[in-house]
Structure 1
Amino acid sequence: MTINTQHGSPSFPTASSALAPSSREEMDRAIGVLVEQKDNWVKTPVAERIRIVDSLIADFSALAPRWVAASLQAKGLEEDSPYAGEEWVAGTWALLHSLRQLRQALIDIQQDGHPHIPGPIRTRHDGQVKAQVFPFRPYDRVLFPGVKAEVWMQPGVTAETLASTQAVNYQAPLPTGKVALVLGAGNVASIGPLDVLYKLFTDNQVVLFKANPVNAYLGPLMAEAFHSLIDAGYLRIVHGGAEEGSYLCQHASIDEIHITGSDKTFDAIVFGPGAEGAARKAARQPLVTKRVTGELGNVSPVIVVPGPWNERDMDDQAIHIASMLVNNAGYNCNATRVIIQHKDWALRPQLLQQVRNVLSQLPTRKAYYPGARQRYQDFVAAHPEAEEFGGSNDPQNLPWTLISDVDATNKDDICFTTEAFCSLFAETALDAASVVDYIERAVQFANEQLWGTLNATLLVHPRSLQDPTIAEAVGRAIAQLRYGSIGVNYWAGTSFVLGSTTWGAFPGHEIYDIQSGNDVVHNSLMFSRAQKSVVYAPFRSIPTPPWFTSQARSASKLFRQLTQFEQSPSWLKLPAIVKTAILG
């Protein structure tokens, strides 16, 4: 059977929006204000920037409940839904958490010219420098027990030169400013605001933000929360779809463009849509020659390292793997798409069965993202053996779906070449003579056969790491995986919310093969030459991470508490948070 699908991320159909698109006159006026203020922003003292961040924290905190309520309504969720916690963590807490880190980074810049790195800086045997960036502050050791994160630098950066690669736009600001167009993503409520903050405070550019039609309902709330930037003329928000986006991308006064979304949208911006755009790309003749950066999609792997797992390990890791899919109904670029296992591991069937058991107990979700049903049907048509779980009579919902035992030698399988961006993932198994051989083959498979370079996760039992040969193989895997974020016993997607880690593709993609993108965001320590971020955690975290599906009922309460904590951090607030994390 031939399936008509494309490699890479989806080409999303146009979404409708309750907000009218901005007229060209309105967009021109917005750009005009930004042009007038772009040089003033470059000259804005750090002390004033800190004052602005303080206003952003206070103003966003005040409307956070309304922000969450609007997102829940749009995604078809009730306030007491087991999935409601997602909107508190990725929608509000992540933004406030990043603002807190940005504030501290600016204080450090004011004092010493660059942000302070909170952990040790080490140089690997091959000369590569890595800096521990999380825990970022003492509170994080309590809120995220056992979690550690590093940013690995690109070759050529040394421990001695590392500070000079931070906050470069503060160390040597340009004499004139720039206007950046930020094209927001529609799936996660914090993406647009975080991208705006990155362009303003790290890249030192004023911003025209075009809200995505999928979540344009957040535009008025964002205008309210970010009024301190809007009032000063450093930010403008406009609305519309592809027509408005095309007009803005080709506008003479837009200096740079940043998009979070699909490689197909990136290509349409740079080369133009349709057959003419494809021809320009093939001829290497871009339509838009200004700098365009993107944080795009991925076929995200989870590499399962065989080991002496017991029943409790199986239960916990099955929940862990399932949670990586069902978060946000599967509409995440960091969602698990391919589980990689050793074909001869005796526990492989049991782990898969446990994953099935978890999925079968979870309520299904509304297919709220445009084109989801067609993408889902493409995958199921290619794999009629796909297993569906969590059935629902609601025609708006899609089932959780597992396609197991996909042939690893079929390089063109849709599960390996195409990001599903819906409630579906796959599993494949590799032949290998030993665990060490398997790890090496899994890394090669992930690097060479799966599309994209955004994020990858490894699961490895601590007793496996007691074997020096396996420990060395895992260390090599972390170094050799060409992904922008890697999680070791922790979903790599959490790098999106930690703030001090980078979020974006592994460096090296040119515009003619953009894959997962060509820049990073978040990155509160403002590294300009980062290669990847690596997040480490215990094999079984205690307490259980709140984003696990098993914690869904208490997650909303917990992340509401964490959001309130970021409004005004205090040790006095921690006991109640810890109690909720442990007892629910």
Structure 2
Amino acid sequence: MRLTEPAHPHLDLAILVQRLAAGEKAWVASPVAERRDLLIQVLEAVDANAAEWVRIASQIKQLDPASPLVGEEWISGPYAVIGYAHALQDTLKRVADGAEVLAGYNISSAPGDRLAVQVLPHHTFDKLLLNGFHAEVWTRPGITEEQLHNGAGLGQRRPEQTNGVALVLGAGNIFSIPPLDVLYQLYAENRTVVLKLNPTTDPLLEIFRAIFKPMIDRNLVEIISGGAEVGSALANHSGITSVHMTGSEATHDAVVWGVAKEAAAAKAAGTPKLDKPMTSELGGVCPVIVVPGEWSAADLRFQAEHVATQRLHNGGSNCIAGQIVILSADWAQKDDFLAALRQALKAAPARPAWYPGCDVRVQTVRDLHPTAEAVGGTPERTLLTGLDLADARESAFSTEYFGPVLGVAELPGTGAEFLDVAVAAANDRLRGTLGANIIVHPRTIKTLGSRLRAAIADLRYGTIGVNAWTGVGFLIPRATWGAYPGHTLEDVQSGIGVVHNALLLDNTERTVVTGPFRPSPRSVLHGEKSISPKPPWFVTNRTAATTGRLLTGFAARPRWRALPAIFASALRG
């Protein structure tokens, strides 16, 4: 069979897979130190191509080159890949040197017989640039510290045991995802990789090929474009030994089970169309649990912007976008918060509904909800209030909207009582387990005591953010990224397996990220241990583009003399 829309017009499918199989044999013979050198070459290539990457990404997303929103493309693009490559090469160096991967990392206990590995802050620059942010990777229950140490390094502990040729079906919304997924297959899973781009990202094909040239030249990686028929042909080719994808649950099921009657029959018989391992990251309906407390007017405004960012970042086209805000019906400031949220949604910078089908999805939601509010700012921004978590028919709890639509549901109670029922509702009523957010005032955190950490343990989500959007977890290279474990092909929800995970940890369950409730200087004035200003990923950050560009350059070449310009830009945001 001949590919119809590949990067190379005359590339035959059999030849492509054959080359990658030959590359696998070469990978077997490559010592870890050599593999690390290749990774560093990729890092340098990302740095060299970063500006052009961002220029093309901004065109794809129809962003004005002068818009602060271009900062999203710096931070969720080359910055994320460079940071990950730096962290992964450090792990490879430890493995190559025969050192403990987790030497120097703080390992503590977590609720439910789990262990927690602190992955942020990792070094002094983390403490300065992400001051007040903290992240841990939690293991599954019952894993011992000895097992944790022995498993760290995954495929690089046994580099000679390779696992064939992987197909990566690339995401079309966040442009660091395809290269990050390729690196994880190559290093964590010890597979050579063909990346089939989502058509949305086709304009970045040559950038990605330039970035991976050191690996393409060695037949370790190939990158092609094409439609669904190309992806299907590759997925079902006998020379492909596994498939990984980032996308929707519907696309996953089409790959695994087929479509229409074929899919129904295959599911009924328990015989997948796909006859090889499949891992995935598929998004879902992400909750934002707002724990009631006594907030100032500034707190209400800032946290409303925080929630608006969780929905509007990338135009709402994020697998980790907050979709359902869970409020206390008994919170005295509930109406004040909703007023601030409406204003934040309206006032956020306008941007086109760039992702294909967004306008149709928004109109479908509005047709189902006659009381939907068009809050302004752009025609698509929509707020749904009065959602009933007891209503089993409510589509907002089961359908990922992938656009600027935010729902609000209320539950009774305050304090720990409210938190417990909100956690239960998030677990039991919302489709998917990729990420959950909790917003809680520092005084309320003190009042809750150990109940907060117990609630975090009870949440069945792969990343949990406390006063920090779970999207921050995507940017932390040593954190894991993926659904809560336990999904199956028959009921995949947010996917199977993890990615990122630069420490190459085994038996992980989730990442927990915490951040400051207030930005500096209010955080300092109120006694919070944080000097971080408004984060550059906020959609309302006025210097996000400059800060994102400076952070990307710093990530590639960390140096003290670069910090003053970053701080100056961040403080103006």
What TM-score, normalized to structure 1?
0.93
User: Which of residues 459, 470, 474 in structure 2 aligns to 1:481?
Assistant: 459
- Per-residue deviation at 1:515? 0.4
Tell me the equivalent position of 2:489: 511
Q: Secondary structure at the match of 2:195?
A: strand
Is the 8 Å Cα contact of residues 117 and 132 (structure 1) preserved in structure 2?
no
Alignment of 1:258-297 (within 5 A): 258-297=244-283
Q: Secondary structure at the match of 2:534?
A: coil
- Per-residue deviation at 1:97? 0.8
CA distance, structure 1, for counterparts of residue 554 and residue 104 of structure 2: 20
CA distance, structure 2, for counterparts of residue 559 and residue 176 of structure 1: 37
Q: What amino acid is the match of 1:560?
A: R
CA distance, structure 1, for counterparts of residue 5 and residue 544 of structure 2: 31
Q: Secondary structure at the match of 2:255?
A: helix
- Residue 403 of structure 2 is aligned to residue 422 of structure 1: yes
- Residue 364 of structure 2 is aligned to residue 378 of structure 1: yes
CA distance, structure 2, for counterparts of residue 273 and residue 19 of structure 1: 22
Alignment of 1:547-566 (within 5 A): 547-551=537-541, 553-566=542-555
CA distance, structure 2, for counterparts of residue 135 and residue 224 of structure 1: 32
CA distance, structure 2, for counterparts of residue 74 and residue 176 of structure 1: 36
Tell me the equivalent position of 1:6: none
User: Which of residues 387, 390, 393 in structure 2 aligns to 1:409?
Assistant: 390
For residues 194-221 of structure 1, give each alpha carbon's deviation from its aligned partner in whole angstroms, at most 9, with x where no partner exists: 0001001111110000011011111111
RMSD (Å), alpha carbons:
1.7
- Residue 554 of structure 2 is aligned to residue 568 of structure 1: no
- Per-residue deviation at 1:21? 7.0
Q: Secondary structure at the match of 2:146?
A: coil
Tell me the equivalent position of 1:7: none
- Per-residue deviation at 1:583? 2.7
CA distance, structure 2, for counterparts of residue 235 and residue 105 of structure 1: 21
- Residue 116 of structure 2 is aligned to residue 130 of structure 1: yes
- Residue 431 of structure 2 is aligned to residue 451 of structure 1: yes
Q: Secondary structure at the match of 1:270?
A: helix
Is the 8 Å Cα contact of residues 76 and 366 (structure 1) preserved in structure 2?
yes
- Per-residue deviation at 1:170? 2.2
Is the 8 Å Cα contact of residues 342 and 348 (structure 1) preserved in structure 2?
yes
Q: What amino acid is the match of 1:352?
A: L
In the superposition, relative to structure 1, how do residues 25 and 58 fare at CA in structure 2: closer, same or farther (>3 Å)? closer
Tell me the equivalent position of 1:526: 504
Q: Secondary structure at the match of 2:382?
A: strand
- Per-residue deviation at 1:125? 5.5
Q: Secondary structure at the match of 1:512?
A: coil
Tell me the equivalent position of 2:527: none
Tell me the equivalent position of 1:15: none
Q: What amino acid is the match of 1:497?
A: L
- Per-residue deviation at 1:352? 0.8
Is the 8 Å Cα contact of residues 182 and 196 (structure 1) preserved in structure 2?
yes
Tell me the equivalent position of 1:238: 224
Is the 8 Å Cα contact of residues 22 and 244 (structure 1) preserved in structure 2?
no
Tell me the equivalent position of 1:94: 80
CA distance, structure 2, for counterparts of residue 293 and residue 437 of structure 1: 37
Is the 8 Å Cα contact of residues 148 and 506 (structure 2) preserved in structure 1?
no
Q: What amino acid is the match of 1:557?
A: T
Alignment of 1:103-502 (within 5 A): 103-112=89-98, 114-116=100-102, 119-124=105-110, 126-392=112-378, 398-432=379-413, 434-467=414-447, 470-502=448-480
CA distance, structure 1, for counterparts of residue 441 and residue 411 of structure 2: 19
CA distance, structure 1, for counterparts of residue 244 and residue 202 of structure 2: 17
- Per-residue deviation at 1:387? 1.1
Tell me the equivalent position of 1:12: none
For residues 33-86 of structure 1, give each alpha carbon's deviation from its aligned partner in whole angstroms, at most 9, with x where no partner exists: 101111221331111112112211211111111000001111111111131110
In the superposition, relative to structure 1, how do residues 29 and 114 fare at CA in structure 2: closer, same or farther (>3 Å)? farther
Q: Secondary structure at the match of 1:463?
A: helix
CA distance, structure 2, for counterparts of residue 483 and residue 262 of structure 1: 17
CA distance, structure 1, for counterparts of residue 217 and residue 225 of structure 2: 18
- Per-residue deviation at 1:22? 6.2
- Per-residue deviation at 1:115? 2.4
In the superposition, relative to structure 1, how do residues 382 and 117 fare at CA in structure 2: closer, same or farther (>3 Å)? farther
In the superposition, relative to structure 1, how do residues 273 and 443 fare at CA in structure 2: closer, same or farther (>3 Å)? same
Is the 8 Å Cα contact of residues 467 and 517 (structure 2) preserved in structure 1?
yes
CA distance, structure 2, for counterparts of residue 382 and residue 24 of structure 1: 48
- Per-residue deviation at 1:367? 2.1
- Per-residue deviation at 1:19? 6.8
CA distance, structure 1, for counterparts of residue 437 and residue 109 of structure 2: 23
For residues 287-323 of structure 1, give each alpha carbon's deviation from its aligned partner in whole angstroms, at most 9, with x where no partner exists: 1121000011110000000011111110110010001
- Per-residue deviation at 1:25? 4.6
For residues 459-503 of structure 1, give each alpha carbon's deviation from its aligned partner in whole angstroms, at most 9, with x where no partner exists: 110111221xx2232111100000000001000111111111111
Tell me the equivalent position of 1:538: 516
Q: What amino acid is the match of 1:575?
A: P
Q: Secondary structure at the match of 1:320?
A: helix
CA distance, structure 2, for counterparts of residue 21 and residue 200 of structure 1: 21
Q: Does 133-142 or 240-249 show the bigger shift?
A: 133-142
For residues 369-409 of structure 1, give each alpha carbon's deviation from its aligned partner in whole angstroms, at most 9, with x where no partner exists: 222222111211111211113355xxxxx421111121121
Q: Secondary structure at the match of 1:350?
A: helix
- Per-residue deviation at 1:339? 0.3
- Per-residue deviation at 1:171? 2.2
CA distance, structure 2, for counterparts of residue 118 and residue 581 of structure 1: 30
- Per-residue deviation at 1:160? 2.4
Q: What amino acid is the match of 2:387?
A: V
- Per-residue deviation at 1:175? 3.8
Gaps of 5+ in 1: 1-17, 393-397
Is the 8 Å Cα contact of residues 328 and 411 (structure 2) preserved in structure 1?
yes
CA distance, structure 1, for counterparts of residue 163 and residue 330 of structure 2: 58
Q: Secondary structure at the match of 2:540?
A: helix
In the superposition, relative to structure 1, how do residues 60 and 452 fare at CA in structure 2: closer, same or farther (>3 Å)? same
Q: Secondary structure at the match of 2:449?
A: helix
Q: What amino acid is the match of 1:270?
A: V
Q: Secondary structure at the match of 2:207?
A: helix
Q: Does 210-219 or 478-487 show the bigger shift?
A: 210-219
Q: What amino acid is the match of 1:577?
A: I
Tell me the equivalent position of 2:528: none
Is the 8 Å Cα contact of residues 118 and 133 (structure 1) preserved in structure 2?
no
For residues 536-569 of structure 1, give each alpha carbon's deviation from its aligned partner in whole angstroms, at most 9, with x where no partner exists: 1121133111111231x20100010011112211
CA distance, structure 1, for counterparts of residue 449 and residue 498 of structure 2: 29
Q: What amino acid is the match of 2:305?
A: I
